[in-house]
């Protein structure tokens, strides 16, 4: 393995000649967009404006397609780097980069849809599943830049050379600090559902920090919640087993209905959070049937609440 291959961490089967071809294609594609390459390094092209065009993601993307498609793949990455918003995000100083970063919840297929929409082959290996053991149906947590005119979903190429843990910490803190525009309490069949809503695409991601969202209210028995679309969080604070079971049923049907109607859907499922751990409580089949999974921490909570009294002081006020 050559030095270039070792530095790039290339996929198997890609040789130095392949790298040279990708570099040449990239130099030409960037030149067409007014970006002149002044130096070629093993892992990146150095541009005349000081920017870096990293090669690892491009090489991985090329490895997934036929050689005849390499020019279009490389051209896409060149367009991303040449676009002012993407280029600015990639090259911002750390403090400004962190200030703009937000965490966002998206549906499990959202990143594939994003690539299909703009014809790209971006990689988002940094993205996290909300519920890791439900990778196929769990919402994904992605990083975004909240700019005045648009929201950019950051790809791996934007995070090159960054302290990823620091980026995640800032993203989560910034999202937790976002205000909600309304907080309502819905009552049905003796159960209470709380609805947090705003116009922000980051509202659903406030479920990533329930202590902040609940603003000091205790969640001793965790939180049952749904995030059918990006602008809302629906939740129930368990107080007794019967009300919690009723609330779960209400959440499951509300979430499915609102998810189907949403322009920015996240998930039709219901989830449970306790002590920083997330659990998926429902799954839905193609016929629309909803299966409820009472297991793990949620099972333990229902058992603990089964004979416990309900404390009326724990009921939320209207916001």
> In the chain, where are the structural domains located?
16-82, 86-177, 182-307
- pLDDT exceeds 50 at position 42: yes
Residue for token pair 């994003």: 114
- Joined together, the tokens standing for residue 300 give 């333990």
- Joined together, the tokens standing for residue 299 give 């099972």
> What's the pLDDT score for residue 6?
46
**101-142: pLDDT as tens digits:** 999 999 998 887 666 555 556 788 999 999 999 988 999 999
Q: What are the residue ranges of helices labelled H in 177-294?
A: 210-213, 241-261
Separation CA 233–CA 144 (nearest Å)? 19
Helix (H) or strand (E) holding 226: strand 223-226
Q: What are the residue ranges of helices labelled H in 40-129?
A: 56-63, 70-82, 84-91, 94-100, 110-118
Separation CA 144–CA 129 (nearest Å)? 16
Range in 65-69, 230-234, 311-315 the model is least confident about? 311-315
pTM beyond cutoff 0.95: no
Residues contacting 28, CB < 8 A, separation 6+: none
> What's the pLDDT score for residue 259?
93
> What's the pLDDT score for residue 10?
62
End-to-end CA distance of the chain: 62
**175-204: pLDDT as tens digits:** 999 989 899 999 999 899 999 999 888 999
Q: Using N-to-C axis directions, what is the helix angle for 241-261 and 296-305, rounded to 10°?
A: 140
What mean pLDDT comes out for the span 43-66?
82
- pLDDT exceeds 50 at position 95: yes
């Amino acid at each position: 393995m050559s030095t270039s291959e070792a530095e790039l961490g290339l996929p198997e089967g890609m040789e130095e000649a392949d790298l040279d071809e990708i570099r040449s294609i990239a130099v030409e594609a960037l030149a067409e967009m007014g970006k002149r390459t002044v130096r070629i390094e093993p892992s990146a092209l150095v541009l005349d404006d000081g920017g870096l065009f990293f090669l690892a993601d491009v090489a991985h993307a090329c490895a997934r397609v036929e050689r005849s498609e390499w020019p279009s793949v490389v051209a896409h990455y060149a367009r991303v780097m040449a676009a002012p918003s993407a280029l600015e995000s990639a090259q911002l100083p750390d403090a400004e980069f962190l200030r703009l970063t937000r965490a966002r919840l998206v549906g499990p297929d959202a990143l594939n849809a994003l690539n299909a929409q703009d014809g790209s082959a971006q990689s988002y290996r940094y993205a996290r599943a909300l519920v890791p053991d439900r990778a196929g149906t769990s919402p994904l947590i992605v990083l975004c830049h909240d700019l005045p005119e648009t929201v950019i979903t950051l790809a791996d190429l934007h995070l090159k050379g960054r302290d990823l843990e620091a980026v995640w910490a800032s993203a989560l803190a910034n999202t937790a600090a976002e205000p909600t525009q309304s907080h309502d309490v819905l009552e049905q069949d003796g159960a209470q559902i709380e609805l947090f809503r705003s116009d922000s695409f980051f509202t659903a991601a406030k479920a990533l920090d329930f202590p902040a969202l609940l603003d000091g209210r205790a969640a001793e028995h965790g939180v049952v919640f749904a995030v059918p679309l990006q602008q809302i969080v629906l939740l129930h604070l368990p107080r007794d087993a019967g009300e919690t079971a009723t609330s779960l049923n209400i959440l499951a049907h509300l979430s499915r209905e609102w998810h189907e109607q949403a322009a920015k859907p996240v998930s039709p499922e219901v989830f449970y959070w306790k002590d920083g751990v997330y659990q998926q409580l429902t799954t839905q089949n193609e016929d629309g049937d909803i299966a409820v999974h009472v297991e793990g921490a949620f099972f333990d909570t229902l058992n603990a609440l089964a004979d416990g009294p309900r404390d009326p002081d724990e009921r939320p006020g209207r916001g």
